[in-house]
Structure 1
Amino acid sequence: MISIVVSSYQKHYFEAFSESVAKTIGTIPYEIIQIWNPGSMGICEAYNRGAEKAKYAYLCFVHEDVLFKTKAWGNLILAHLQNENIGAIGVAGSAYKSEIPSSWSIFKTYNALHILQHYKEKSKRPQIIKQPNNVDLFQVVALDGVFIATRKAIWKQFPFDEKTFTSFHGYDVDFSLAISQKYNLFVVFDILIEHFSQGNANNEWLLESMKISDKWRKVLPATCVNLNSGEEKRLKVEAKRRFEKKLSILNYNWIKKKYFKLKYVR
């Protein structure tokens, strides 16, 4: 009953991923839809192509450099998504997304993660990140794209925006914000995956994060928690500081001078 969609370009990862799914998903019917994508299309287009081919009612969009550590996780996905108020679930996300271009993860207080993460630094051992502890579900407004499960009917309402997001960044936050306008999103703590890479906040990422701020200007900042005015101001100031630092690191002074002040400081 689950169609698993993967934008794939590394054969060894995909083979290990497929074997992991077969050993852990449980007894429910499933299919893996591999969209071969060695940079020939953005991930939004790849995911939309895969979802169009899917024959089952539940969709799981997953990176190929992932192994599943939980047994019968397919049944857990179905159990979560039986609740019609839940639009999507994941293993990492945040209850706050700033209007300033940024990652979903910049404010740890509002984050939720349940993942066995590997790091770029070879000297740093992989570790399970579980935040917060002692909860089963944590409501968020943005999910990380490493793992997102939803119903096909919801994807049909909110397909990935392949016209706006043409690379491999921004698609997850955009997809989350679209779904969250009508449904609730949750990070779940009964599914654990092992992830072998980290994100890359490069120039391409920066431009895509700016697109999110432009597209969702009327919605952002987005949150599912109550914030007082002092906290709202603090988060905005901190997001602005981090954005300006990223502009400096990536040598985007022209954006800082001609674009940032006009569009992101109200």
Structure 2
Amino acid sequence: MNSIMLSADQFGIVYNVLSFGLVCMLATTIYTLVSQSRVLPKYRTALVMSSMVTFIAAYHYFRIFNSFEDSYVDGAVKVGTGAGDFNEGYRYVDWILTVPLLLVEVVAVLSLAKAAASSLINRLVPASAAMIALGYPGEISTDNNTKVLWGVLSTIPFLYILYVLFVELSKSLDRQPAGVAATIGRLRLLLIATWGVYPISYLLPILGQSATDPGAFVNRQIGYTIADVLAKCVFGLTILKIARMKSVAEGMKEDH
């Protein structure tokens, strides 16, 4: 267990950042749920998955928020896995559930042939779960060599996901309506750019910032939260945009 001294301002920053993450997840969940009627039925599964992602994230942000508040005693945050500690494990439980769903959303909104969709899902889901599971031992370790080892192992399925998204998935975009392939391309870049924040936050202790350094702790919470909002809320809203584009291309009237 680490004890991290935080000033009142640092406590306020983390408190407000976690609150921001929670409300973004809740708002996106509601918006994607009420937008079901704006797309054709065959694309609603993708929106349901998007709502599931942000709902799961909202629940875990609620737990993270309470964990942070409860762990702050006498100007210090206790970080660990015991009762009353600030537990980063909530983030990893969230990610191991939501990251596979994020990838399935992309496949679902494209409405590919069953064989092609199954092939992509069967490769992306196990790889994403392995990526998160392999990162957790390094996250909770205080030894830099252990962090590097598990970080490298976690990178292997990450690189495989990149291959599937940018090589294999590209083969399925040729028959998409005008504008959809380009939007999917931007969606993949958004996913990779936001995922890039996680390893940076993960590596802060290795890059010279002590595990008990208040600045490193604050920066990690800011980085993780901003990345989560972009990778889940903005990602989900982009999935909705793609579903709308495809629905309109297939004859559904646009809203005015």
User: What TM-score does the superposition give when structure 2 sets the normalisation length?
Assistant: 0.28
* Structure with bigger gyration radius: 2
User: What TM-score does the superposition give when structure 1 sets the normalisation length?
Assistant: 0.27
